[in-house]
Amino acid sequence: MIVESAPAKINLALRVRRRREDGYHEIETLFAFLRDGDVLALDPQPSRGNEGSSLSFTGPFGALLSAEGDNLVSRAAAAFARAFAVADAGGFTLDKRLPVASGIGGGSADAAAALRALARRDGVAADDPRLVACAEALGSDVPACLYGRSALGRGRGERLEPLRGLAGVPVLLVNPGVGVPTGAVFSAWDGIDRGPIGEGALLDRALAGRNDLEAPARRIAPMIGEVLALLGETANTRLVRMSGSGATCFALYESGADRAAAANAIRAARPNWWSLESALA
């Protein structure tokens, strides 16, 4: 059994620069990754004995995906098979721990994990250009998730510049249980280019930045404002922001004890919300 983690992704800052002729948006973003997320297992020789890959789900959010006819893990397996001329076979089990459509790259991380697992199975180098091309074809965040380390993303987010990260910094993710469609949020962007992400140390760039998608996401899901307000009221935060296109928000903390206190307070106030205590990788 080959096991790959699919860690949550957060955007420490996100600038939308323009809408491109191909329908995508030109962005600049500071990617960072957590130590926790989904977990994907690959049985290289599934017992069912049929050609093609299989995919089953476990975890608190697995049922939401099991009803879908299409999934990024299956698409990643098919893309890998085409790129490397191998049989599209293998039994995947996805332990889906991250909420769906939540702005933390869950589906993209799952696809990247599938590509890494298949590459390990077949002895493909992690930086093989064909593997990277598979990631780029699967979605804008998949190359960053395949890379899996702090980076500045440009273009659709697929042009990556490695950055010295904030490893070990405590982080709390909070989602109010609202799914926000990425396409709708980008469509609601006001079209104003507010300039590039600045220079300097990663945290300084993040603090000086913003998320240009927060305003349109809050119009679609006003509860995001409540999440940000509650996180902002917790003690010793270093940064509070919405991630991606929402609705998940995060806070970075001075210490693990500060993060734990904040998590306990928010769970007491909003017991039906999802939260995750972790640290940056």
The alpha-carbon radius of gyration of the chain (Å, integer) is 18
Distances, alpha carbon 218 to alpha carbons 174, 193, 245, 268, in Å = 15, 19, 10, 23
Which residue do the tokens 């007491």 mark?
A: 268
Has 96 been annotated as catalytic? no
Tokens 């939308």 belong to which residue? 16
pLDDT for position 254 = 98
Q: Which residue has the tokens 């790129």?
A: 83
Q: What is the pLDDT of residues 113-162, one digit of tens each?
A: 999 999 999 999 999 999 999 999 999 999 999 999 999 999 999 999 99
Q: DSSP strand E in the chain: where?
A: 2-19, 25-43, 53-58, 90-95, 151-154, 159-162, 170-175, 237-242, 249-253, 274-279
Phi, psi of 134 (to 5 degrees): -60, -45
CA separation for the pair 64, 259 (Å, rounded): 29
Instruction: Tell me how far apart the alpha carbons of residues 110 and 122 are, in angstroms, rounded to a whole number.
Output: 18
How many Å apart are CA 87 and CA 7, to the nearest integer? Answer: 27
pLDDT in tens, 28-78: 999 999 999 999 999 987 554 456 689 999 999 999 898 776 799 999 999
Average pLDDT over residues 72-93: 92
Per-residue model confidence (pLDDT) at position 169: 98
Q: What are the structural domains of the chain?
A: 2-162 (3.30.230.10), 170-279 (3.30.70.890)
Mean pLDDT (the chain) is 95
Give residue-wise pLDDT tens across range 195-241: 999 999 999 999 999 999 999 999 999 999 999 999 999 999 999 99
Best CA proximity match to 182, nearest among 138, 130, 235, 245: 245
Q: Once rounded to an integer, what is the mean pLDDT over residues 154-180? A: 96
Does residue 9 carry a catalytic annotation? yes
- When pLDDT is averaged across residues 15-19 and rounded to a whole number, the result is 97
Q: What is the pLDDT, as a whole number, of residue 89?
A: 75
**Average pLDDT estimate for 21-33:** 96
Structure-token pair, residue 143: 């190359």
What is the widest separation between alpha-carbon atoms in the chain? Answer: 55
Catalytic residue among 36, 95, 141, 258: 141
Q: Are 246 and 185 in contact (CB under 8 A)?
A: yes
